[in-house]
Amino acid sequence: MKNGFYKRAAGLLLFICLLGSASGLQNAIAAEGATTFDIRVNKASAEVGDSFVVTIDGVNLDRLYAYELTLELPANATFERSKTKDYLPDGLSVYHQEGHTLRYGSTKSGQAAGENGTKTLAALTLLANASGIAEIQLVSVKTLDPELRATLHTVNKKISVQVRSNSAPNEGTNNGTENSAVPRTITAADGSGQVESGRIVVSSDGPVQAPLALLQAWAKQNSAAVLELQAGKITYSLPLSELSSPGLLALLGADASQAVIKISITEASGMQKDLAKIGAADLGSKLLIDPVEFEVTAVRPDGKSVRLSSFSAYVHRSFQLEFDVDPSQTTGVYLDEATGQLLPVPTLLRVVNGNVVADLFRKGNSAYALVQTNKRFADLEGHWSQTTVETMANKLLVKGISEQSFAPNKPVTRAEFATLLMRALTLEAVAGQASFKGIQGKWYESAVQSAANAGLMNGDPDGSFRPNAQITRQELAVVLKRAAGYAGKSVERTDQNQSRAPFADQAAIAYWARADIADVAAAGIMEGDASSTFRPEAPASRAEAAAVLKRLLVYAKMFSE
């Protein structure tokens, strides 16, 4: 009750102090080491109906307790509040819009300390609704310190996005690179002798295209077939089964049989490269290669295109490297088009003919790169999980509770494990109405929704999720078995009639979890302790969660160290 009062009071204070008049504010004068603000966008162009994200960064922040952004928005883009993210820790965000002027703010509450250094303040999502140049101006930023002293920072910085009409798919689609070459057309002859093997290899220095009907015919011949585009030292493997999905056919309409599929692998735009550099620095990582854009589109006979950006199966792309890497410190990342951040993807490193090849897996397209990270935690010294946890941290799949501490023995909550699953399996972020009671607006809302939508975690019959409850080892086993199936490598059912129970405390395992525990144990994803007991009701620790997620990805052949 008291915490809710503070938050409501803080929200009111924000409106009074920030959204009110500027009288009494001290004006900031830009100087070396002074607080400044930058504006950036996650894409240089978008189609009508697409969203793009405008991110505001603060540089040299000094005890930032609250902020308010004043922006001028274009007539051809609409502010999407539900998809906008406030990055002020424990912040309560508010906004007010009059015409094209948007004022968006956030405040801490109670006796919280202010923020220092360089940090992202907010990522504002805009929906493009008409073609033309969408210009966004960050007019000013008002800040409050913990003593509620206000400062007005005049910024007047602009960024722009080229909004294309859906009827002109070729307008400005090269992402700033030279990709105007006529696509090579794939014919039935390209599949001769390859469809049966399940791997149809096509080499091209530029984009390729193929009649959808041809690719669907190959998929009928071999449901496991993939079309593998080789562009120099980069390979992209598209499962042909993805091209017969009801969702795609519905988007293409009655003329689906006459559509053409276009696949391109191109150098990322200058803006994407800049975002990747910023993202790597934010992660404390080193960017090993410039990002590469992978794109698949279905073009209808009338010239309109449908972009295929998400799939039901993991799509794999490979980079052949010309340098050595430390597998325990190297992972693939993709550029999140919604936020402009770098996010990890499951990565398998292997050696082929003396060269390192990195295989990156995700159920979607974007710009991809590789990063190197060297993370160490002081409280892991001598702990059984040290190598595993630090490798998983270097792969950006787990995080510490601070820069120096991991807290390996601390129990994991259900919400925290949903977040770990989201990162490990690159689950798509989910926005909109929450399906569980009491999770709306919480830091874990998107992760819980994503894990539930993927069929990995369930709630209770009363509609709650119990996000803060510790996840038990037997609950963990059930979720891991589902996750293996989601990753495309289902765990085989063990013989439940075998005479010897796998664990000494078998009778203590809940009936609903016995089969799944036996299965994941047989697959090597979970194990008992030295005395062959499973401890089903024991809470899973942070170290155990990292270890089983690593084993899951190894089992799915999407991880190496």
> Looking at the predicted structure, is the pLDDT value of residue 501 above 70?
no
Q: What is the pLDDT of residue 497?
A: 59
Q: What is the pLDDT of residue 292?
A: 96
Closest CA to 41 of 74, 90, 67, 63: 74
SS3 annotation, 378-403: HHHCCCCCHHHHHHHHHCCCCCCCCC
> Looking at the predicted structure, is the pLDDT value of residue 278 above 50?
yes
What is the sign, positive or negative, of the torsion defined by CA atoms of 404, 410, 414, 417? positive
Q: How many CA atoms lie within 13 A of 391 on its CB side?
A: 19
Q: How far is the CA of 410 from the CAs of 217, 376, 383, 465, 541, in angstroms?
A: 53, 18, 13, 21, 5
The one-letter amino acid code at 545 reads A
Q: What is the pLDDT of residue 26?
A: 58
The rounded distance, in Å, linking the Cα atoms of 62 and 26 is 15
Counting Cβ atoms within 10 Å, is residue 419 exposed (0-12), middle (13-18) or buried (19+)? Answer: buried
> Per-residue pLDDT tens for 318-361?
999 999 999 999 999 999 877 888 999 999 999 999 999 999 99
Per DSSP, the residues of 42-96 read S-SEEETT-EEEEEEEEEEEEEE-EEEEEEEPPTTEEE-GGG-EE-STT-EEEEE
Pick the CATH number of 184-372 from 2.40.128, 3.90.25, 2.60.220, 3.60.21: 2.60.220
Which residue shows structure tokens 């996650």? 42
**Which of 24-38, 78-92, 497-511 has the lowest average pLDDT?**
24-38
> Per-residue pLDDT tens for 266-277?
999 888 888 899
> Looking at the predicted structure, is the pLDDT value of residue 494 above 90?
no
What is the sign, positive or negative, of the torsion defined by CA atoms of 470, 473, 477, 483? positive
At residue 336's C-alpha, the angle toward residues 335 and 340, to 5°, is 80
- Two tokens, residue 498: 């075998």
At 336 the three-state DSSP class reads: coil
**pLDDT mean over 362-384:** 96
- The strand ranges marked E within 172-218 are 184-185, 199-203, 208-211
> Looking at the predicted structure, is the pLDDT value of residue 32 above 60?
no
The rounded distance, in Å, linking the Cα atoms of 143 and 299 is 48
Q: Work out the pLDDT band at 163, boundaries 50, 70, 90.
A: confident
Query: Where are the CATH 2.60.220 domain residues in the chain?
Result: 184-372
**pLDDT mean over 452-466:** 92
Which residue shows structure tokens 């803080």? 10
> Looking at the predicted structure, is the pLDDT value of residue 124 above 50?
yes
**pLDDT mean over 213-223:** 94
- Two tokens, residue 527: 């194990």
- Two tokens, residue 370: 């590789």
Query: Where are the CATH 2.60.40.680 domain residues in the chain?
Result: 2-164
**pLDDT mean over 134-146:** 94
Architecture of domain 2-164: Sandwich (2.60)
Closest CA to 141 of 37, 61, 215, 55: 37
